[in-house]
Amino acid sequence: MKLFNLIENEVIKMISKKRLLFVLAILIVLISVFAYGQNRTLERTKAQLAQRMGITATDDWRKLADQQLIEMKNRLDSPYMDEKRKSSLQVRKEQLQYDLDNNINPLEQSAAKFTTKFMEQSIFLFLPLLIIMLAADMVSGESTSGTIKLLLVRNVPRWKILLSKYLTLIILEVLVVCLAFVLSAIISGFFFGFGGWLAPVATGFKVLAGKLDSSSVFNVPQWQYSLMVYSLAFFVAIVVGSISLMISILVKSTAASIGIIMSTLVAGNFISYFLSDWKITRYMFMVNLRLTDYLAGSFQPVAGMNMLFSITVLLGWTIASLIVSFVYFTKQDILV
Amino acid sequence: MQQTTVLELTNLRKTIKGKPIVKGVNLTLYPSQIFGFLGPNGAGKTTTIRMIVGLIKPTEGSVTICGYSVATDFIKALSNVGCIIESPDMYKYLTGMENLLQFAAMDKQISRQRIKDVVDMVGLQHRVNDKVSTYSLGMRQRLGIAQAIMARPKLLILDEPTNGLDPAGITEFRNLVRKLAYEEGMTVFVSSHLLLEIEQMCDVVSIIKQGTVIKTANVHEIVHNNRIEWQLNDPEKAIALLKEHWNITAIQLKKNTISADVNEHPLAKINELFIHAGIALTYCSTKQNTLEDLFLDLTEGDEIV
């Protein structure tokens, strides 16, 4: 009963701060730009193809795919390719081959495809940034403004206050992920048509010793694939939210806490390229955020990682963050 | 006795980063008392208050509110407390009313009517639906008090409550505090660095300096307003005259200034005596006790840091 009131309080604060509105606006703008850009690229590709090969891409995509395959084969045979790029190219080549064999047109765009692709591209940086915007000042904001004092001198235990904040954060994470889904499905629908949800998508790829193992590949309808992608996105949102909340508790200033988490995330994006030989990097949470890549069969930057590994690492970070958060929050002296 | 104490501090100590801030404070407060906690900035007033409401943990000693220990029975102890600590920090992006509703939601017993009554009581009824970011410090102070008394606490803790209030607001505030203590039976704990404020509001006062309570007494025992200051051309002669005729011990403050405690003696007669003795009297006034004077008195000239 009381916990519900506390959550209600937190939601009112979050809405009054206009943070959620801000996140919504960013989502709308970014999705629109992204969809418009996709549309233009698609049209240009079609025009180029028509000019170069005298075909309309949508009519005869198989020809194009054949051509691409040959190109990839040539690049793979080239002695100048370095080993790492070679194996990832190999993976893509095999995927294309699979598409050809199963008559899946890789060029055709649809709202369903776009929606999935949008989250696949957002999951490691854009989505976490949105979550950080909501989570990073949940506690540090109250420390900065001094309102934390008023919150902690009520006849409510500290753990309950923090729990209400955490549950509110989870509600917001659900909201953000759902919003991202609905908005991209609707906005991209205006560009590419609203269909495509039943088209088959291949998943179940495995990377074994740098080679794509398609023995266990199977087709699922696009909507189901989307659902998997957005579920993973929700998981990532919870992970990033938990870590952000911890930083927000440990660092009393909002600016500092946002700075710390953002730089960590951005660093994570190039750490995997520069330090891929350094085994320990694979235990960092930011290297493990591209969970959707495992579904699509893309190659992982650090060898030896798979879905189970990444999810375990991320779960570990989440649980550790929660323990640190609750212990520190209930024990700390409030001196602001 | 156990039943009637509202607040009991026993050997309360706090050391922060190796520096002792509060060095063993003992206090006992009874119902309907208005208690003043007086001390200069940095004496450990706010740190003590933070320990009372459980924002920081004492290094040593205990806090008991209405019989419940803050350390082991936090919820029950804090159910009896309303407070403002340091500054009345509110959610600036919410209206005054929304702020009060936030805190009311954390305590089931507070009704809508009670919130309205409290808003009227602190005189904020015309601005309560404006955003707190548009409030003056005085208005935020009022909102802070409203928030603190909303749940009818037995113990009301106000840390530097008149900061930012104008003279009319201070008088109003004083009346409100008296009303809360005498009509609603609240025990009020007021901290301040202003002697005048404490003197006009409180019954009992404790003076804290460098983390130690140096005196606890009835407010009238500590503050005396019968100190007179004279500016004249012959201080030695004046001091001698006072001793001789009225048995008053006067002290020389500056080159031409002396001061003494004058009780029932008519000041006019003393001045007449000075003038008859040929002393040129240029200035004479009652002197308001300052906190520094009080410290000088209490510590008998020890250095004030």
Give B-chain residues touching A157 at CB under 8 angstroms.
74-75
Confidence of residue A231 (pLDDT cuts 50, 70, 90): very high
Contact A149 B55 (CB under 8 A): yes
Contacts of B91 (CB under 8 A, 6+ apart): A13, A16, A145, A147, B98, B99, B102, B132
Give A-chain residues touching B65 at CB under 8 angstroms.
none
> Rounded distance, CA A104 to CA A65, Å?
11
From A117-126, A285-294, B120-129, the region with the lowest mean pLDDT: A285-294
Contact B79 A155 (CB under 8 A): yes
> Rounded distance, CA A168 to CA A165, Å?
5
Q: Which of A166, A168, A327, A313 is nearest to A250 (CA)?
A: A327
Give B-chain residues touching A147 at CB under 8 angstroms.
89-91
Smallest CA–CA separation between A156 and chain B, in Å?
A: 6
The answer to whether B146 and B176 have CB atoms below 8 angstroms apart is: no
Contact A9 B75 (CB under 8 A): no
| pLDDT score for B22 | 94
| pLDDT score for B2 | 45
Q: What is the pTM of this model?
A: 0.83
Q: Judge whether residue A33 has pLDDT over 90.
A: yes
Report which of residues A36 and A46 the model is more confident about: A36
Contact A333 B94 (CB under 8 A): no
> Rounded distance, CA A119 to CA A181, Å?
8
> Rounded distance, CA B6 to CA B66, Å?
5
Kindly list the structural domains of chain B, giving each domain's residue range(s) and its CATH number in brackets, ordered by start. Answer: 7-222 (3.40.50.300), 227-287 (3.30.70)
Give the three-class secondary structure for B10. strand
Which residues numbered 65-104 in B keep a CB inside 8 Å of some CB on A? Answer: 74-76, 78-79, 81, 83, 85-87, 89-94, 98, 102-103
The answer to whether B219 and B48 have CB atoms below 8 angstroms apart is: no
pLDDT > 90: percent of chain A: 47
Contacts of A78 (CB under 8 A, 6+ apart): none
Domain extents in chain A: 2-43+109-331, 59-106
Chain mean position to CA B120 = 24
From A125-134, A188-197, A310-319, B219-228, the region with the lowest mean pLDDT: B219-228
Region A215-222 average pLDDT: 70
| pLDDT score for B146 | 93
| pLDDT score for A10 | 94
Nearest chain A residue (CA) to B58 = A333
Phi, psi of A105 (to 5 degrees): -75, 110
Q: ipTM value, please give it.
A: 0.81
| pLDDT score for B265 | 65
The partner residue sitting opposite A6, judged by closest CB among B55, B78, B106, is: B106
Q: Kindly give the parts of chain B with pLDDT less than 50.
A: 1-2, 301-305
Q: What confidence tens digit (pLDDT) does each residue in A38-69 have?
A: 889 888 887 887 777 665 545 577 777 888 88
Chain mean position to CA B131 = 30
The answer to whether A290 and A268 have CB atoms below 8 angstroms apart is: no
> Rounded distance, CA B144 to CA B96, Å?
10
